[in-house]
Chains A and B, each alone.
Chain A
Amino acid sequence: ILNVEQSPQSLHVQEGDSTNFTCSFPSSNFYALHWYRWETAKSPEALFVMTLNGDEKKKGQISATLNTKEGYSYLYIKGSQPEDSATYLCAFRNSGNTPLVFGKGTRLSVIA
């Protein structure tokens, strides 16, 4: 059974703070790592898909890094805003024939 762990489970930060959280996944048989942003009462939306060790992706103030050898990915948010409040999910895939396995998510609350 594949295990995808995310930490912390939840996080409260002040507006303007920078923050980061972690996704851990099995380091053997890596295929792809996805990050999704899930706002309350909406659908999960894809942020990044990463496939190569050392990949770094950026979208606005949000960026992600990937270390496939040690089995982790970090998501960074620089200068958090209240609209960044959401649950951030990561999902791991170990081959093209297997489904995404999701973590439980990190719930971020940005206080104005």
Chain B
Amino acid sequence: DTAVSQTPKYLVTQMGNDKSIKCEQNLGHDTMYWYKQDSKKFLKIMFSYNNKELIINETVPNRFSPKSPDKAHLNLHINSLELGDSAVYFCASSLFAGGPLVEQFFGPGTRLTVL
């Protein structure tokens, strides 16, 4: 059983389109995250939700809108895709948000290519 799953694994689309990436965790965790692996290979936090509530929003263009229908799911919707949005997007979850010893569990990543 996959702990943190993302769909799709690959996404190729045209500039200007709107697309969504889905993430689900079956670990019973309260907190979920979206990361972007940029062109320099850094993993950078985009959003974090705790029990369906947004707790971190790191200067991400408002074309990116996360949605958490329940605490097991955190989907990422991107409007008006741009070339610079091409990257690998990782979803992650953790038991809760604040504790120092809390490790994060990552999904397999979604490689988004905008043409």
Contact = CB atoms under 8 A, between A and B. Distances in A.
Interface of A: 31-32, 34, 36, 42-46, 49, 51, 89, 91, 93, 96-102, 104-105
Interface string B42-55: 11110010000000
Given A46-B104, A99-B48, A104 B98 contact: no
B89 interface: no
A99 B33 CA distance: 10
A34 B106 contact: no
A44 B104 CA distance: 9
Given A43-B4, A45-B106, A46-B104, A99 B45 contact: yes
A49 B101 CA distance: 6
26 contacts: A31-B100, A32-B100, A34-B103, A36-B106, A43-B4, A43-B105, A44-B43, A44-B90, A44-B106, A46-B104, A49-B100, A51-B100, A51-B101, A89-B43, A91-B43, A93-B100, A96-B99, A96-B100, A99-B33, A99-B45, A99-B56, A100-B104, A102-B42, A104-B40, A104-B41, A105-B41
Contact of A96 (B44, B98, B106): B98
Contacts of B43: 44, 89, 91, 102
Nearest to A44: B106
Interface of B: 4, 33, 40-45, 48, 56, 58, 90, 97-109
Nearest to A91: B43
Contact of B107 (A31, A43, A101): A43
Nearest to B4: A43
Contacts of A43: 4, 90, 105-109
A101 B42 CA distance: 9
A46 B44 contact: no
A49 B97 CA distance: 14
A100 B100 CA distance: 10
A96 B106 CA distance: 19
